[in-house]
Every structure is written in structure tokens, then in C-alpha cells.
Structure 1
């Protein structure tokens, strides 16, 4: 123990004891610092490789486009070129003309066509399998043209080309079209203003499936006769230079000039993107999912003529694109007939009266809806704020059902996601206007969820049975005579230690895992349990929100039972809802606005088809509203005609024995809150002395009624808790407005 070398070594390691300065510490290793700096640099530049790859692919596409423009221009001007136009197809047009008339040029004073097709189109299609015609198709006049058309179809490749898509079940078609007239003054040839380039997407869908088959198309629109010629592909877009092979021979040269101008314009735009660095990496990313089909389609369409003269039609379209406030003719409905046919797959779709809506009209429609939706959401938020302020007490929160507000919060969560998605898809002011109802819906969701949590915290102990008060048993064991200082010393050294029991072994509990702790917290904490349920519901809703049928079914269920849970609680607790008529009626009408608009209006902004059952949901919601209102006025079980016995809630005002008439103070005791006496009306003495010294009772009817009235008023003056603590009713009401436990023993209290 007395080692001078060790002591000397210990003193040398303490710098404060050493008279000389301590040796400098060794520097930190450079390896962790190098790794940290490398990690930071990697996180800052980890997408540099993707940007370089995207830029390389853009440069490669630009080189390819330059070669295509050069070859096409050389072919167009009669110079030697590597490009050649496909030969004329004499089998397609006879089949197409059996379904659609590509239309003549109209008299400009009697009628006109729409000149700009930019917008969104929706319609129904009829499917025809040209490789195996049905009995009805075989009897048609176009069956012979169809047989000649599919004579070049390779039957052995059909399963691979048709893919997994259910062609026979396809019934709906949607088109998003971008239409523009190409004018380029630098080109030496004259460009016809009667021709415009169209591009966009065709989506085929079936009613019982959530997926769609998308086709990218590029085509030509002849304005004078309203005809459309286009190529549509499921895998990749076809070379734009082959479009002239679709049009009639007299229009081939003009079409080729427009194609040349369009290719030159695309080349300029692509070069600007490369120079400015505005490279869209997602546009170059190949999808990991295999295509549903590999069919190549040709689209032939024709606009239905209108009775609006050409000059008025131009004025109408100018006012639609750039509103100035002038009076124009009423816009006629845009309709399109057409044929979508594939020779390699042997299928044909007939488009019948596909209706369209111009993009500016749709965006103005979205803006109008967003304004109305903002007002409705603001009314809902105002009603909720007034109602939560009015019933924000333990007594009020015990009367309402938390699940009514939970259902409304989930509805508002779906509304928030839907309006945010609408704001992303819309353009310009329509996108900004959709953010206003989205923000209010988010605020509604948060407030309703918090209010549901508050209700759950108040109602959590209402079903808990208070444990019986254990009788106090005096302890017969004397206290431990051992002083604190004797703990840990020898037992024999302390007198009387032999009679003491050995000290218990201290067992350190095992620390629970995080998952077990989280599960116990969710299971025991009502607030955590409710938030977990809300989160799970939201996760499920957000995952299925892209499937239109499931969110509609979910919302319909929420609407159908939003007040039913309140009716059930009122019956179960034998108390009214406590909700104001203003809140019930206003909330119901505002909620029904969204339900009836999206599922009852045939021309809503999302183009959701009307559902007949929406009116059943509305009637059911109104029936629940009337039931809740009548429960507050006629009783919670009025619809049972009082024939159903409901378990009564705890009675805070039981009959208590009156104090002795000879006692100097007529009180029931002291209030456990304010500590003042709970007095009894002196007139409640059931016996009074007559003048002859004998006691007699007041047996008159009026006397008995007055005594009963005074007894009832006195009973309402006090409240006896289940734990047998006595309070003034007013004192207990003020206390229960803050906490739902006994102020003395801290046991849960039922609603007053």
C-alpha cells in the first residue's frame, strides 16, 4: 500500500500537483475527420452523377433531333436524304370512314368548328375485336373492311402485344389535348394557318378497375373541317416525321411544312433547356413497371359542327383565352367523334360524342369552386370554434361523442389531401385558389382531432368502477426498533436483532424494450390511443386516396354515421347531446355541399360520375340530425316510446336523513370543497308542536306538495359522490368543469 513509486506516478499524472507544465495532448486522429468531411461532400454532391447523366441524355437527344430535322428538310426540298415517308395505306381509311365522317368545310356564315382543342375530353367507347368479330360485328357493313385491315396482323405476336390489359372491359376514354398553331417566319416555305399540331395523352379505363392504359399521341388538326389525324403509342412516341402519311394526299405538303417547323421549334426549346440547366430528370427516367400493352394506334377524329358563325366563334375563343368582359354568344358544347384503331393488335375503339372542356374554362371553374369551398370551410371552422368554446367543460364534454368529431376530422383530412392534389394539378391562379380550402381543411382536421382527444380524456374514467374504500385496520406490529445506522452492521451486535426478519432481497426490475413501452403507453393512455387510431386511419386513407372508389366509399360511410354515434351515446347515457342547433344544422348542410357536389353533380371539376346512393346518404344524415334534435327536447329514448329501460346514471342527489329537529344547526355537513355548511330548509321538519304540546303533522294536500317541493330543491342543493364525499352542487359543478376526479380522494367521478 505504501509504494512511493506509485504515489510519485500518481502525482505526476495530476497537472495541478506538478510544478512543471504538463505534456501537450496528442492531436485527434485525422481519419474520423477525413471520413466526416467525405460524408458531407458526398451528401452535397450525391446527385451530381444523375445530373451529368441527364445532361448527357439531353445532348444525345439534341443530336438525334438535329439529324432528323436535317434529313426531313432535305427530303422535303427534294435533296438526297436518309428519310423516306411510309407508303400510303389503302386499308385503313375504308374502315375508318365506316365509323366517322371526317367532315366537309362549312359555310362560315352558317356554322363553324372550334379552332383550339386544348382542354380535357371525356366519353364512352365501344370495343371491337377485329381478329375475331362477333355475330353483330360480322353482320355490319364494315366487316369486310375489317377483314382486309387485319390481313396483315401477325396472330402469333398478339398475346405479347395485347399484354395484360382487359380490352373487352374498356368503356371509358379521357383525352388531354394541347393544341397550337406552328408559325415560323424563318422558314422559306409558307405555313398554312389551317393546320395545327396537337399532342397529349389518351387514357382508357374500365369501370371496375382503378388502373388506366395511357397512350401518348401526336397529331395534326385541320381547323377548316375539324378533322384530326394522330399516332398513339403505349410504349414510346412515334417519329413525328411520319405524320404526313396519315393525311390525305392534297394536304401532304402543307402538313410536312408544319412538321418541319415543329421539329425546329422543339430543337430550339431543347437547346435552351441544356444551356439554362433546366433539365427534367424525371422525364428521362424509365419506368420500372412493364407496359400493360405494346399496341400502336392510329387516331382519326372529327369535331361536330356548331351553328355559331365563324366570326362569332373567333370572338368567343378569344374571350375564353383572354377575358375582357365583352358579351359573346353562349359557348356551344364541344363534341368529338372518332376511331382509335390498331392494326398490329387488331382492335378498334369507336368514340361516340366525347365532350370536352377548354382549359381556361376548367381553370375558371376550379377557381369558382375553390372560392365556394373556402367559404364553406370557413363556416365549418367558425361553427366548430363557437361550439368548442360553449361546451368546453367536463359536463359538456361528457354529453358529446368523440367519434362524431373523429369522423369529421378524417373527412377533413381527405379534403385536405384532395385540395392539395387539385392545387398541384391545376395551373396558374386555379392552383393558388385551391390552396385556400386545403389550408382551412387542415385547420379543421387539427382542431377536430384535438377536440376528440379532449373529449376522450374527460370520458376515459366514466366507465371505471371506483375501488371500494378498504377499512382501516390498526397495525399490531411494532415499528422496527433498528436505527438507521444499524443497517448493514453485524446482526449479533444489535440487541433484539435475532427476532427480526431478514432484509428482503431488492430485485431490480428489467427495463422494458421500446416497443413494449410504446404498446403499454398506447394501451393505458387514452390520448395516445386516440392519436394512434387517427394516424392509422390517415395512413390507410392516404394509401388508397388514388383509388377513387375506395375514398368515396370511405367518405360515404363517415357521412352515414357521423351523428349516429351521438344518438347512441345519448341513449346509453340517458342524456341529451348538448350540441347547439346552430352547430348541428350548419355542419350538416356544409358537409352535404361537398358530398352532393362531387357525387350528385354530373359536371363537377373532378368529372366523378354521379352516384344514386348519395341521396340515400343525405336522407340518412338528415334523419340522424332530426333524431339528435328531438333527443334534446323529447328525451334520449323518445323513439322507443319509453318502453326500453336504460341503465340510469349515478344519482348525485339521494335522499339523506334530515338532522335532528332539536339540533341547533340544521345542516347535512360541511362541503368538502368550500368547507361551508350545507344547510337544510327549516320548514322541512315533518313534525311541529301544537299549542297543547302534542306533535301533529301537516296532512293537507297543499302542505305535502309544498314540503315535497322544498325537499326537491334541497336535494338539488347538495351532491353526494360515489366515494361518500358531500359537496354543494354549485361547488362540484365548478370543480368538474376543470377535473373529473374527486377533489379529496382523487377517484374518478361520473358526470353530474
Structure 2
């Protein structure tokens, strides 16, 4: 009979078919696409037929309304804010460029300042609100007569007096060949306001960059505002209006032709809405932003004249883009002043800085160029690569240490799984960023490869070995639960109706001892009963680990019969759940970047705190199994420090590559929580795994460090006492065998190291010194020096722990020992 393909392969083929099959056009999609193209062509024609100054407020007869959405008088936009914003932008240009600013804006000067020609990068700073805020008063019924909005709450509506702003600028590497003085530019702006909720808004803006002046004009575009088509009318002079209309007439035509030919299927290529924000149609405030670049604050070496300075700066920018030296000189940050206003919501904001604000309160907007940012990012990524490599080395040493079933049974599966989950998150994060950031692609992918080795080859391999060893423990617990439930259901005894007598229950079956204790499953009724022949049985003990033999026998049984219960085969479901959780967290975190700031902060704090609780499962397992020394201390300390270093970089260093604001309070909470877990592990090793919990909270477990009492029968003392070698025959009448001269201690012989073992004991009740001896011998630290087996043999703790790393058997009588 031919083998049928597994269901997973069939599902994979179906998913690939659905993914690779092109989506059919939705009903009415082609009509909407054609309508969008027609609207864009009409808006571009209106721009070409217009003149500078048509949207300035005035009498109705003095101006002709611009035939663009949002620019018509009946739409209710507050264009009276345009002229004050332009005046403020001119004032900032005069402050930054000096007296030559007006001539540069009008295009009548040939003395150009020392400015960056390519401003790809980001700037950030603080803003303050100016003027009177009246709120949005827009005639939405005239703009969108079909009523497409589902809510009346406006997004991006700045109501606070101040806040933070960050603008990511992106323009082409090279200017337009036909006109090098004007370039297209796009930006991603994040505007936050200082409120109790800490709201912030993100948007995409498109605009033009006047290179010679350092002036940048950006605007949003939506279904109620044709911002990109009316952008030249927002310029500061007729000269910049003509330059802007010329470059937009060419670039907008290219985009419309791509839409018409089907190369670009986006109906809103200049939309200001971020991904994930278009689930519900909600009105949002439109923005017009003026940015004025300040001159580079340093004189470049080897230049005497202004023209030579400009040429040296251009050569310096080319070297930043295509470096040929191993170490670049320090790149000055970009500095820009900002004026922004909302024509529909009616507010105006400005960047904090001189001359209106003291330099101590703000320095406008500052930030690095993308090349300088990438150079710093590469060094920081290299440091993170070293951190992941150090984590991998510690993991390999721990895997080598836990090379036996008894040592692997002590390690918590979930602790290693959380660590592997963090490495997997780093793997996907660096891989995604590596595919988007071209300047650091190779380095990010190399770091992702190191994380790939850590999580795929070694992390998951270690998890598989731990899962296989602990499968016997899980199956034993399942059998015990089944037995307890069956005993609970069979507790009522049957009564004969005639004699009213109870049927005697079957005699209890002797428990079966294993490496973890006693199993209570009775033999089946049809099983053959052992016949006592009177012969003395000869038991040949195994020289291997009992847990390993039990697991091997179960695997062999499953291989001969039903292979579905094999531990290694069952690990496939763990693989599936692990990767589903990993990919789910990554996609949820990516989607969380579009959430409001307050919700995003709560989400990131919860995920971070849960990840930094990786020692909690190991503490719990130590308590439940009453075991110690599951992990190497260099692994515990090293992983704690290495896992905290990235968060210390993000929450303590202001210049981090993710641009996260420092939060020293949350970092202190993380550090305290991690080292509290480490302190718990340390106390469990020296004071006992259960010293801080009640006995009623945990299941019973064998105590290898009992309190020894010197009672008359000697029932609680281990066997193997000896006489001191130096004792004389006359002293034997006063000192019993196995006693030291100090009656509060006894001497035994450790069968592993063949050395004397002196242990404290509590004297008998009739002993006069019993009270003073009990205070010393009952100490926890004193009892940690010896270990007593259930078969009443005593050893040094170090000796027996080393023995139990390989065999869970008593070194003397080969009796099965409970796991440590």
C-alpha cells in the first residue's frame, strides 16, 4: 500500500498555492482606481493653471478660489493661519542664514550658505504651541458628502501646550539631473504631547527641499485635503513657487502614469495614514510643516573661500555615502527650526529655540544624517553580536555540564525555552531590519545568523534533550493522577444484598520503586502471580542511570508498538507551539508600533518584564522537586548580565539606535527583579530549595539533609560508624564506636572518597548537654555538609552530588535514590 502524504504537507501546498495566486480585483476596485486617477489629473491641471497667492485670505472678489479639495472657501479650512506661519518661517530663515536669507528665498543671491545637500536622517526636539486654538471647524459634508467617517473624534489633534517631535527625512541619494536646486523629499513625523496619557501621533508627509536655501516644505494628503497638489502655493516666494510647481509637475505626472498603466496599484500614493490606522475611517488633522536647515557649525579643513567650503562639504557628503577610509571624521549633526500649522484644526506649533526661547530651554531640532547614524549603528550592532556570542558560549558550557539524564532532569524546560524565545525574537528582528536598511544589511544578517545558531541548533537541541529526559517524569505523574482518580471512584465497597456483608477488598499491591519514588499502579487481575519457591533471590543491580534505562525501555516499547507516544516524536508539537508563539509575538510587536503611546508602553513593559522572569520557572522546579545545583553559576550570572545589557543600552543610553527615550526607573525595576531571582537561586542552593515555602504548599519529597538524633536505639543514625584511629583501649569504655570526643558529633566513613565524615547530632533526651548541642547541630548550613540516603548510608554532600550526576543509585547497596 502506498504511503499517503502527511496532512501537514498537503496544508503547506494549499497555503503556498493561495499565497502565490494573484488576488482577483475586488468588485468596483477598477472603478475606484480610475476615479482616483481622474481626480489626480484634475488636481494637477488646477495646479498648472494657478498663480502664486491664490489661497491667501482676502475679499472674495480679490482672489480666485483654487479648485483643490481643502482649498475652496466652502470647505471651511482656516487659511488665515498661512500668512503668520510663512512670516515665522522667514524669521527663522533670517536667524539661521543671516541678512542674505531674503535674497536666497527670492532667488537673487549667489552666496550660498554651508548646508547639507542631502538631509536624509532624522531630527528631534521639543515644540510649543503658539496662537489661540479654536479646534477643528471643517465642513465635512461639503468635502465628503457620502459620509465616509465612522467617528467624530479627530486624530492628530494637538491640544497640549508643548511636547516632543521627531521627523525622519528621506530623499533621493542624487538630485534631479535637470534641476539640482530642488528635490523631492518625504518624511515620517512623530508628534507627541505632554499630557497625562502621553499621546503621540504618526503621519507621513511629502514635500520639496530647496537645497540652496535649506528650506523644506512638507504637507499631508488625504481624501479631504489635496496637500501635495497645492504645495507650491505654500512656498515663501514666487521664485520657490515656480521651482516647486516645476518639480511636482514632473514627479506627479510620473506617478499618475504608473497608476494608469497598472504598475502602481495604490489609489492613494501620497496618503499620510500609517499602516494599520485605516481600519476605521476617522477624520484627522492635516499638517503643513516648514523646516529651515541651519548652516554646518564647523569650518572644514583645507578651504579658504566660501565656494571651497561648499565643495569640501559636498566631497565630505560623498565620502559619508561611499567611505574609503576606515575611520571617518566626526559628522556634525543636522539642526533645523520648525513651524507647523493645521489648516483644518486651527493650531500652530513651533520648535523651541532661540531667538524666541532661551538656549537652555531648547535648541530647535537636532539629529544625525543617515550615514553617520548607520556608522554608529554598525558599532552598536557589533557589540550586540558579541553579547549573543557570549550567551551562546555560556549555553554550550551548560549543555556540556548537563550531559547526563540526572542533571538534565533538574533543569527547568521553561527557563531554557524563555531564553531561546528571546534569541528567536532577536533573530527575526535583525533579519527584518537587515532587509530594510541597506547600509547595514550584511552586519545585521550576520548578527541574525549568530542568533539563528543560538536558537535553532543549540537552544532547541538542548530543549529536546531536556524534554526527552523529563518525559518519564511527565508520564509517571499522569499515571499517578489516573491511579488516584481510579481509587477515588472505586472507594465505596460493594455490599451483598442477602447477607448485608461487605465484600473484602483485594490486598494492596506492593508499590513499584523507581528513580522518583513509588508508583502505586497495581498489577492487572489477569497477571500471573509470583510463586514463592523459598529460594533467596539474587539481585544484580544496574550500573547505569535508572531514569535513562526507563526512558530507553519506554522508547523501545513505543518503537515496537505505537510510535505516537515516543518522547522525541512528541517534541514536534513543542516545536510547533514554540514557533507559533515566537512569530505571534513578533507580528504583534510590529503591529504594536501603530498603537497609542500609552498602550504601547504598557505592552512593551509587560513583554519585557515577562521575558526577564526567565529564572522564575527554575526556582519553581527547584521547589517542587526539592533539588539544587541545576545550573552552573557562571551560566546564571553570565546570562543575567548579558540579558540585561541590551535593556540597559535602550533605557539608559539616549543615543540608542532605536531612539527610545531613557527610562532609568523601569531599568532599575528590571535589574532588581533579575537579581532577586538570582538571590533566590543562591539561597536555594545553600539554605535548601524549600526554606522560604511552607511544607503544606509543596508535595512531599525526601530530605537528604535530615537532623540526626543520638537516641538510645540509634534508629535515626546512619550505619557505618567507626572508631577513631587514635583512640586507646582504655578510652573505649568511655567513648563508643563512631563517636568523637565531642559528644555532639559522630564520625562516619564516606564510601566515595574514603575519608572521615564528622557530622553533628542532637544528643539523647537524658543527656545533660543535649540542649546546647541541638542549637549547633540543627543549623541549616551544618546539615549541608552531609547527605543521608533512604537506605541509611551517609556521604559527603560534594561526593554524593557528584555521584548522582551520573547514577541515581546508592554507591554501597545499589538502592535506587530519589532525584536530587
Q: TM-score, normalised by structure 2?
A: 0.57
- Is contact 2:738–2:748 with CA below 8 Å preserved after alignment? no
CA contact (8 A) 1:114 1:313 kept: yes
Check whether the contact 1:235–1:291 (CA below 8 A) recurs between aligned residues. no
What corresponds to 1:489 in structure 2? none
Q: 1:48 and 1:474 mapped to 2: Cα distance?
A: 64
1:257 aligns with 2:263: no
Aligned residue in 2 for 1:116: 118
Tell me, in whole angstroms, the C-alpha distance in 2 between the residues paired with 1:722 and 1:416: 48
* Aligned 1:610-629 pairs, distance under 5 A: 610-613=662-665, 614-622=667-675, 624-625=677-678, 628=681
Alignment of 1:37-52 (within 5 A): 46-47=21-22, 49-50=24-25
Partners of 1:540 and 1:369 in 2: how far apart? 27
- The equivalent of 2:637 in structure 1 is 585
Q: Relative to structure 1, is the Cα distance of residues 545 and 428 closer, same or farther in structure 2, using a 3 angstrom cutoff?
A: same
User: Which among 615, 632, 644 is matched to residue 563 of structure 1?
Assistant: 615
CA offset at residue 175 of structure 1? 2.6
Q: Within 2, Cα distance between the matches of 1:363 and 1:465?
A: 60
Task: Report the Cα distance in structure 2 between the residues aligned to 1:399 and 1:115, rounded to whole angstroms.
Answer: 62
Structure 1 Cα separation of the partners of residues 566 and 201 of structure 2: 44
Asked if the contact 1:319–1:326 (Cα under 8 Å) also holds between the matched residues in 2, the reply is no
1:588-667 aligned at under 5 Å gives the runs: 588-613=640-665, 614-622=667-675, 624-625=677-678, 628=681, 634-636=686-688, 649-651=702-704
Cα deviation for residue 385 of structure 1 reads: 1.2
The alpha carbon displacement at 1:221 in A equals: 2.2
CA positional deviation for 1:393: 1.9
- Count how many residue pairs are aligned between Structure 1 and Structure 2: 603
Whole-angstrom CA distance in 2 between matches of 1:628 and 1:731:
21
Aligned to 1:175: 167
The structure-2 alpha-carbon separation of the partners of 1:366 and 1:326, relative to structure 1 and needing over 3 Å to count, comes to closer
Cα shift at 1:55 = 9.8
Q: Which residue does 2:380 correspond to in 1?
A: 369
Residue 428 of structure 1, CA deviation: 1.9
Note the alpha carbon deviations across 1:501-550, whole angstroms, 9 max, x for none. Answer: xxxxxxxxxxxxxxxxxxx9999x99799778856854763454133535
Shift in Å at residue 591 of structure 1?
1.3
**Alignment RMSD (CA, Å):** 6.1
1:335-383 C-alpha deviation (Å, 9 max, x unpaired): 3222221222223333442333322233333333333222221221121
User: Cα deviations across residues 49-93 of structure 1 (Å, max 9, x unaligned)?
Assistant: 4499999998998888788878877889xxxxx998989977512
Gaps of 5+ in 1: 1-38, 77-81, 134-149, 186-190, 478-519, 656-678
Q: Report the Cα distance in structure 1 between the residues aligned to 2:634 and 2:679, rounded to whole angstroms.
A: 13
Aligned partner (choices 155, 168, 171) of residue 165 of structure 1: 155
Q: Equivalent residue for 2:341?
A: 341
Secondary structure of 1:103 counterpart:
helix
Distance in 1 (CA, whole Å) between partners of 2:285 and 2:420 is: 45
Matching of residue 232 in structure 1 with residue 231 in structure 2: no
Instruction: Check conservation: 1:231, 1:243, Cα contact below 8 A.
Output: yes
SS in structure 1 of the partner of residue 377 of structure 2: helix
Aligned match for 2:288, one of 270, 280, 298: 298
Residue 101 of structure 1 is matched in structure 2 by 91
Deviations 1:549-587 (A, max 9, x none): 355323542465333554565577665425334323332
The structure 2 residue matched to 1:195, chosen from 182, 196, 199, is 182
| CA distance in 2: counterparts of 1:597 and 1:730, whole angstroms | 40
1:713 aligns to what?
Answer: 750
Distance (Å, rounded) in 1 between the aligned partners of 2:468 and 2:197: 43
In structure 2, what is the Cα distance between the partners aligned to 1:589 and 1:329? 33
* 1:705 Cα deviation from its structure 2 partner: 4.3
TM-fit CA distance, 1:264: 5.8
SS in 1 for 2:116: coil
**Superposition pairs of residues 491-570 of structure 1, within 5 angstroms:** 538=582, 541-542=585-586, 544-546=588-590, 547=592, 548-550=600-602, 552-558=604-610, 560-566=612-618
Render the CA deviation track for 1:278-330: whole Å, top value 9, x for unaligned. 87899799986234324333222222333234434333322222212298763
Cα separation, 2, equivalents of 1:234 and 1:68: 13
Per-residue deviation at 1:724?
A: 11
Change (3 A) 1:400 1:314: same
What is the Cα deviation at residue 594 of structure 1?
A: 1.2
Partners of 2:798 and 2:165 lie apart in 1 by: 68
SS in 2 for 1:363: helix
Gap runs ≥5 in structure 2:
1-13, 52-64, 74-78, 101-109, 300-308, 353-363, 478-515, 530-563, 593-599, 709-718, 755-786
Which residue pairs with 1:244 in the alignment? 232
CA contact (8 A) 2:115 2:294 kept: yes
Cα distance change on mapping 1:236 and 1:118 into 2, 3 Å: farther
Alpha-carbon distance in structure 2 between the residues aligned to 1:474 and 1:685: 57
Residues 395 and 635 in structure 2, CA contact (< 8 A), matched pair in contact too? yes
Normalising by structure 1, what TM-score? 0.62
Mapped pair 1:422 → 2:428 = no
What secondary structure, in the 3-state scheme, does the structure 1 residue paired with 2:337 have? strand
> Offset of 1:392 from its aligned partner?
2.2
1:432 equivalent to 2:445? Answer no
SS at match of 2:642: helix
Call closer, same or farther: CA 1:347–1:736 in 2, change over 3 Å.
Answer: same
Q: Is the 8 A contact 2:259 2:265 kept in 1?
A: no
Aligned to 2:541: none
User: Is this contact kept in 2: 1:559–1:617, CA < 8 A?
Assistant: no
Q: Which moved more, 1:538-547 or 1:284-293?
A: 284-293
1:404 is paired with a residue whose SS is: helix
The CA distance in 1 between the partners of 2:790 and 2:738, in whole Å, is 33
* C-alpha contact 2:221 2:228 (8 A) present in aligned 1: no
Give, in whole Å, the separation in 1 of the partners of 2:223 and 2:129.
21
C-alpha separation between the residues in 2 aligned to 1:696 and 1:91? 109
**1:585 and 1:434 mapped to 2: Cα distance?**
27
Contact 1:51–1:281 under 8 Å retained in 2: no
The alignment status of 1:383 with 2:394, answered yes or no, reads yes
The aligned counterpart of 2:716 is none
2:318 aligned partner: 318
